[in-house]
Structure 1
């Protein structure tokens, strides 16, 4: 049984676009590379042919995995989410109890995580620690060098 993954509409569309790119552009390129290498002669001593076949195998494996992910993908219905708790798609403002530093993160699915834009995965240590918390709660998050405590200051949705 495969694991269901939740995505925003944009995240799911990005995944579909990437799969279409692999199927419509990369797959024909791989086939052309194999045909070109095959035309160069003896296949038993043709390293270019072997490399092209291996690249095609890796591409097909990647396509297969993406199709499986898409088959188990669900779009998150934002209207059904509880806005009083930190859930997927929540924008959470937190304050480190030790140094007083404030940060804001948006909790997203693992495949949509991008720390530069403030999006962290719900499967990351901080994401797991924030899930289900409400404003005023303290999130105790296990990190490699101990436990960090964060005050939940604000929870919003875009």
Structure 2
């Protein structure tokens, strides 16, 4: 797998999540031991729930651990330019409906569409990556192919993105 872009803030957040997950391990092991002590495991809902929780926890820890060496940590305040790259805030206009959308291109572990960001690996992110103001792109979406025009490309840095 190639390098995965992530902001310094996103890297700090995922590093903290990893620490928090690892700190939960002893409590889950204790819950499993207590449930096991109750006897018959075949009908022990507490045991099943604790094992399921442990499985989900370990899966997330494994995911983060496997991605940590691949992260390319980038400083959002140091980015600039005229092309749509990681960290750029891009405004696009649907050529058919004239509807405008604005979002920031971030890595898959940073992006949150609810906060106005999308992954550079998403279909939209891939379509506009490297483009500049005035360029037209086609995005394959569930409702079909959508043609957009890049209206603007800006670099707002950390403060403009609401990172703390």
TM-score, normalised relative to structure 1: 0.85
What is residue 23 of structure 1 aligned with on the other side? Answer: 22
Tell whether 2:18 aligns with 1:58: no
1:1-158 equivalences under 5 Å are: 2-24=1-23, 26-41=24-39, 46=44, 48-78=46-76, 83-158=81-156
Report the CA distance between 1:90 and its aligned residue.
0.6
CA distance in 2: counterparts of 1:75 and 1:122, whole angstroms: 14
Which stretch of the first structure deviates more once superposed, 86-95 or 54-63? 54-63
Deviation, structure 1 residue 44: 6.7
Please give the per-residue CA displacement for 1:108-130, whole angstroms capped at 9, x wherever unaligned.
11122211221011122211111
Take 1:31 and 1:37, find their aligned partners in 2: how far apart are those partners? 10
CA spacing shift, 1:149–1:23, aligned 2, 3 Å = same
Higher relative contact order (CA 8 A, sep 6+): 2
- Give, in angstroms, the shift of residue 45 of structure 1: 6.2
**TM-score, length-scaled by structure 2:** 0.82
**Partners in 1 of 2:91 and 2:42 — Cα distance?**
61
1:39 Cα offset (Å): 2.8
CA RMSD of aligned residues (A): 2.2
- Larger C-alpha radius of gyration, 1 or 2? 1
Secondary structure at the aligned position of 1:110 is classed as coil
Superposition deviation, residue 50 in structure 1: 4.5
- 5+ long unaligned stretches in structure 1: none
Which runs of at least 4 in structure 1 moved beyond 6 Å after TM superposition?
none
Unaligned residue ranges in structure 2 (runs of 5+): 157-164
Looking at structure 1, the residues matched to 46 and 9 of structure 2 have their Cα atoms a distance apart, in angstroms, of 39
- Secondary structure, in 3 states, of the residue corresponding to 2:146? strand
